Structure 1
Amino acid sequence: MRLSHLQAVFLMVAVTLMWSIAGVVTRHLEHARSFEVTFWRSFFTVVSLMVILPFFQGRAVFAKIRDGGRALWISGVCWSVMFTAFMVALTLTSVANVLVTLAAGPFLTAIVARVFIGHRIPSRTWVAIAVAGAGIAYMYGAQIQGGQIAGTLVALCVPIAGAVNWTVTQRSHAQGHNIDLVPAVLVGAVISSLITLPLAMPFRATGHDIGLLALLGLVQLAIPCVLSVVCARVLKAPEIALLALLEVIFGILLAWLGADEVPSQTVLAGGTLVIGALVFNEWMGWRQRT
C-alpha cells in the first residue's frame, strides 16, 4: 500500500482515534487487572494479526519474519514494550496521566532521529514541537498527584520505545533495505503475550472483560498498529509523533464522556495548544509542498 502524503495524514488521524479507545474501555472492565489486562489484549492482537497479515500478504509474511533481520526484531521488541507498558500504566493511574505522558514522544523521536540517522527537522516542526511541548507541560503539571508516580513512570516507557521504533523504521527504508516491518507488530504482540502470561495468573477476567479486551486487541491495537507502520513509509518520524498526539486529546475526551473521568481546565487548555501545533505543522507543510 503506497499512500500520498495527505492520505497518510488522514489515515494516521484515524489510527490515533482507534488507539484512543483503550482508556475508556478498560474503565468498564469488571475483574481483569494489571498484567491480565495486558495479556488478553496482546493475545487477541496475535489472533487478529494471524488472520489480517496472511490475508493481505499471504503465507510469505511468516518468511518475512524469519528473514526480516535485526531491524524487524528491534521493532518487534519496541512494540512489545509499548503494548505492555501502556496497559499496565492504565491500571495504575488515570487515563489523562498516561496519555499526557505519551505526548513526550515528539521530543524523544526528534532527538533519537537526529542523533542516530541525522534526520533534518524542518523549522516549522521544531516550532510545532515547542508549542505542543508547552501544552503538554501545562497539562502534565496538573496531572501528577500523590500515588500516581509509578503509573507515570511505566507510561514513560511507551514514548521511549516509540522513538526508537519509528527511527528504526525510517532508517531501514532510507537505506533501501527491502524489509517489511508490518510483521514486527505481530512479533511485538507475541513477545508481550509470552512475558505477561505467567504474571497474569490466576485469571480473573469475566466473559464481559474478555469481550472488551478482544475488542481492544483487534480494533485498538492490531488494525491501527499495522496501519501506522504503513503511514511510517510516507511520513517523517517527528511528523508521525506529532500526529500521534491526537491520541491524547481523543483519549481524554472519550474517558470524559464514557467513563466520567472529567479532565481539568488545565488539561483542556493544554490540549488546545497541542491541537494548534498539529494544525500549524500540517498547514505549513501543505503550503510548502504546493
Structure 2
Amino acid sequence: MVGVTLLWSTAGVVTRHLEDARAFEITFWRSCFNAAFLLLALLALRGRALWRGMAVGGWPLWVSGLMWGVMYTCFMVALTLTTVANVLITMALSPLLTALIARFVLHHRLPARTWGAILVAGLGIGWMYGQQLSGGDARHLLGTLVALAVPVASAINWSVIQRSGRQAGGAGQDMLPAVLIGAVLSAGIALPLAWPLQASAHDLSLLAGLGVFQLAIPCLLAVQLARVLPAPEVALLALLEVVFGVAWAWLGAGEAPSLAVLGGGALVLAALVANELLGLRQRR
C-alpha cells in the first residue's frame, strides 16, 4: 500500500515537466492510456465475463464509473490551475466526506471522533480557502474548488459500492469494470475540450507513464489490497500520497507550499490521522 501511494503521488511533479500539453489535453491522454491498459488487464483477468458484467451491472456500476470519470478529470484539471499541495490536501478530505455521506445515505452512525475530525479538517480547509480569497488569487481558488470535486465523487463512489455490496447479499458486485468505464468517460469528455491536440512526443511519453504507472496499476493493486488490509489501515496509509506528492513537487519542480497550505494541511492531516488511529485502536 505504501508503494501504491508512492505511485499515486507522482502525478503533480510529472505534470510540471510537460512541454505543450495543457489542462484537458493532459486529462485526455492520461485517461486514454489508462483506459487502454485497463482494457488489456481486465480482459486478461475476466475474459468475456468483463462484457457480461458490464451488460448486467445495472446503475451502481455506471454511477461508480461516472464518479471515477469525475475524479480522473477534475484531478488533472485542478493540477493545472493550482499547486500540487492544494490539490492533494483537498483530496485528503475523502474519508471524512465518505463518512458524512454514509451517515445520511446508508444511515451509518458516526462516532464522536469522526465528527470532531470533520470539524477540525473543515477549519483547515477554511484556512486555505480564506487565504486564497483574501489574496485575490482567483486561479488558485478555482483550482481548489475543482479539486474539491474529487473527494466528493470519491465519497459518492464508495457509498454506491457499499450499497451495491449490501444488495448483493454481502458477496459484492464486481466493480473493477467501473474503473475502465471512468477512464473511457474521462477521455471522451476531455477530447473535444482538448482539441486541437498539441502534445509533443516528450509529453506523450510522460502521460503514458502517468496513465499506466500512476493510475492503472496502483488502482488495480489498491482494489486487491483492500481485501487484505483493514479499512482504517488503508485510509491511513493512503494519506502518505499527500506527503509524498508535496515532497515530489517541492524537490522535483521547486514548488514550495505556502504557509497557509502548510497550516491548513497540518490541521487536515492531523484530524485524519487521529480519526483513523482511534478507529484502528477501537477495532483491535
TM-score, length basis structure 2: 0.86
Q: CA deviation at 1:164?
A: 0.9
2:208 is matched with which residue?
A: 214
Greater displacement, 109-118 / 183-192: 109-118
Q: How does 1:7-156 map to 2 (within 5 A)?
A: 11=1, 13-143=2-132, 145-148=136-139, 149-156=141-148
1:171 to 163, 186, 209: 163
Please tell me whether the aligned partners of residues 69 and 185 of structure 2 are also in contact (alpha carbons under 8 angstroms): yes
1:6 is matched with which residue?
A: none
Tell me the amino acid that sits aligned with residue 148 of structure 2: L
Give the match's secondary structure for 1:120: coil
| Separation (CA, whole Å) in 2 of partners of 1:283 and 1:103 | 16
Greater displacement, 131-140 / 93-102: 131-140
Deviations along 1:161-195, one digit per CA (max 9) or x if unpaired, are: 11211110111112235411111000000111112
Q: CA deviation at 1:41?
A: 0.2
Change (3 A) 1:118 1:235: farther
Tell me the amino acid that sits aligned with residue 160 of structure 2: V
| Separation (CA, whole Å) in 1 of partners of 2:283 and 2:178 | 32
Root-mean-square deviation (CA, aligned residues, Å) is 2.5
| Separation (CA, whole Å) in 2 of partners of 1:162 and 1:246 | 17
* Residue 193 (1) aligns with residue 187 (2): yes
| Separation (CA, whole Å) in 1 of partners of 2:273 and 2:101 | 24
Change (3 A) 1:275 1:100: closer
| Separation (CA, whole Å) in 2 of partners of 1:262 and 1:64 | 45
Q: CA deviation at 1:245?
A: 4.3
| Separation (CA, whole Å) in 2 of partners of 1:133 and 1:231 | 29
Give the match's secondary structure for 1:28: coil
Report how many aligned residue pairs link the two structures.
Answer: 278
Please tell me whether the aligned partners of residues 109 and 241 of structure 1 are also in contact (alpha carbons under 8 angstroms): no
| Separation (CA, whole Å) in 2 of partners of 1:15 and 1:129 | 26
Change (3 A) 1:37 1:143: same
Please tell me whether the aligned partners of residues 109 and 167 of structure 1 are also in contact (alpha carbons under 8 angstroms): yes
Greater displacement, 210-219 / 95-104: 95-104
| Separation (CA, whole Å) in 2 of partners of 1:70 and 1:239 | 30
Q: CA deviation at 1:239?
A: 8.3
| Separation (CA, whole Å) in 2 of partners of 1:201 and 1:71 | 32
Tell me the amino acid that sits aligned with residue 126 of structure 2: A
Change (3 A) 1:254 1:143: farther
Please tell me whether the aligned partners of residues 75 and 165 of structure 1 are also in contact (alpha carbons under 8 angstroms): yes
1:182 to 176, 189, 204: 176
Q: CA deviation at 1:67?
A: 1.5
Q: Percent identity?
A: 59
| Separation (CA, whole Å) in 2 of partners of 1:168 and 1:222 | 21
Please tell me whether the aligned partners of residues 249 and 271 of structure 1 are also in contact (alpha carbons under 8 angstroms): no
| Separation (CA, whole Å) in 1 of partners of 2:265 and 2:143 | 21
Please tell me whether the aligned partners of residues 78 and 188 of structure 1 are also in contact (alpha carbons under 8 angstroms): yes
TM-score, length basis structure 1: 0.85
Deviations along 1:248-279, one digit per CA (max 9) or x if unpaired, are: 33322211111100012333344333443343
Q: CA deviation at 1:51?
A: 2.0
Change (3 A) 1:151 1:288: closer
| Separation (CA, whole Å) in 2 of partners of 1:181 and 1:171 | 12
Task: Structure 2 unaligned segments of length 5 or more: list them.
Answer: none
Task: Structure 1 unaligned segments of length 5 or more: list them.
Answer: 1-10
Deviations along 1:209-267, one digit per CA (max 9) or x if unpaired, are: 0111011101221122334444566766x987676544333322211111100012333
Deviations along 1:106-127, one digit per CA (max 9) or x if unpaired, are: 4432222111111222333333
Please tell me whether the aligned partners of residues 34 and 211 of structure 2 are also in contact (alpha carbons under 8 angstroms): yes
